[in-house]
């Protein structure tokens, strides 16, 4: 029987699943603050653990707020900086800290959400703005990983959405590689939307997390590509997929990014033949989303062609989306090491 192909999959995802799936992904399902290994040489890491732990402990179940609401026409305006924003480079453990915060918050699981920024904007698009506010406002905590603003529409959408949630007492926590006051820089005329960006920045207390990318400490930049014949021959077993890279890139253009997670349902290892450097920005950004979903799910990648640290052209890496591409390369490189190790252990 030929191996499964991602290019044969067209997942249909009901809107209800978009909300139900907003929990820490498998890689971070069981993490905790105690499991975060702060680098003794980087004091901001231990300080970030303390700040995130304190923030989580300060989240209540909302019962007293609802009782106060019986006597008020609207909820009080949230205090400035009432959310927490973990800012730092790639691989310093920000997602680990955010997921630990989600787990530690003394709130029932059904009343707290964990999602990426892309998943949040996709939810608003799938449900409509008003329905998204309704769906999210019943929660006490919303954690947003990989916070980025890629266009003016997202700036206004997210600023308004988070304003509505804050006004209803929802606590916000986020991570990003960009300070909230600098979101959008290099991508669009951020000065034209400075008011919205400043409104976003005012909702968070920034906590810096410094350090090196733990995924690559003391390791080579990327493993050597695997010969395509070996990629093909080793693509056997349940949950193993095999695709030609060019065909997969074309297929991703036909699948909404909100469905890239369900695209990987049941997949335990991905094999790619003839990986080549990508120079098209739209295709590259879709690969970024796929890389994030593969990483979230701990799916090893077995790849032939060019090394994955040469996936994007120097021109793309020098542009406004540089941080997204570097994150994707970091994650795919780690997953390709896992893929190579899985073949060695056969």
pLDDT at position 246, please? 98
- Domains in the chain, CATH or no CATH each: 31-212 (3.40.50.300), 215-344 (no CATH)
pLDDT at position 264, please? 96
What mean pLDDT is reported for the chain?
83
pLDDT at position 124, please? 87
pLDDT of 249 > 90? The answer is yes
pLDDT of 108 > 60? The answer is yes
Asked whether the beta carbons of 174 and 86 are under 8 A apart, the reply is yes
Q: Name the band, by pLDDT with cuts 50, 70 and 90, for residue 69.
A: very low
pLDDT of 79 > 80? The answer is no
pLDDT at position 31, please? 96
pLDDT at position 9, please? 96
pTM of the model: 0.77
* Token output for 100: 């630990």
* Token output for 283: 């295709």
**Greatest distance between any 2 Cα atoms in the chain:** 70
pLDDT at position 213, please? 64
Q: Which of the two residues, 91 and 119, has the higher pLDDT score?
A: 119
Lowest mean pLDDT among 52-61, 146-155, 161-170, 283-292: 146-155
pLDDT at position 2, please? 75
The tens digit of pLDDT for each residue in 318-340 reads: 887 887 888 899 899 999 999 99
Distance CA 341, CA 223 (A): 10
Q: Which of the two residues, 40 and 192, has the higher pLDDT score?
A: 40
């Amino acid at each position: 029987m030929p191996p499964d192909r991602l290019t044969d999959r067209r997942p249909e995802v009901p809107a209800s699943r978009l909300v139900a799936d907003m929990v820490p992904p498998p890689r971070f399902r069981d993490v905790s603050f105690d499991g975060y290994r702060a680098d003794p040489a980087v004091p901001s890491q231990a300080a970030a653990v303390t700040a995130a732990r304190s923030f989580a402990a300060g989240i209540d179940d909302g019962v007293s707020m609802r009782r106060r609401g019986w006597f008020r026409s609207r909820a009080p305006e949230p205090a400035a900086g009432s959310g927490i924003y973990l800012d730092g480079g790639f691989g310093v453990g920000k997602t680990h800290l955010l997921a630990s915060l989600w787990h530690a918050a003394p709130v029932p699981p059904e009343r707290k959400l964990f999602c990426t920024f892309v998943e949040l904007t996709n939810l608003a698009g799938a449900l409509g703005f008003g329905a998204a506010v309704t769906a999210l406002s019943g929660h006490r905590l919303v954690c947003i990983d990989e916070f980025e603003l890629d266009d003016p529409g997202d700036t206004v959408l997210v600023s308004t959405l988070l304003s509505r949630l804050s006004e209803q007492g929802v606590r916000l926590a986020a991570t990003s590689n960009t300070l909230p006051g600098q979101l959008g820089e290099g991508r669009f005329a951020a000065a034209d939307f400075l008011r919205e960006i400043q409104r976003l920045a005012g909702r968070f207390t920034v906590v810096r997390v410094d350090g090196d990318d733990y995924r690559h400490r003391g390791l080579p930049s990327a493993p050597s590509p695997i010969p395509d014949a070996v990629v093909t021959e080793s693509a056997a077993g349940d949950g193993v997929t095999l695709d030609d890279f060019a065909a997969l890139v074309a297929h991703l253009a036909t699948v909404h990014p909100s469905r890239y997670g369900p695209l990987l349902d049941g997949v335990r290892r991905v094999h790619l033949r003839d990986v080549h450097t990508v120079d098209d920005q739209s295709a590259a950004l879709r690969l970024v989303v796929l890389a994030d979903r593969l990483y979230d799910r701990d799916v090893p990648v077995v790849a032939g062609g060019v090394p994955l640290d040469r996936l994007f052209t120097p021109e793309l890496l020098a542009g406004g989306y540089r941080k997204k591409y570097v994150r994707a390369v970091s994650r795919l490189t780690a997953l390709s090491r896992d893929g190579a190790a899985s073949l060695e252990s056969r």
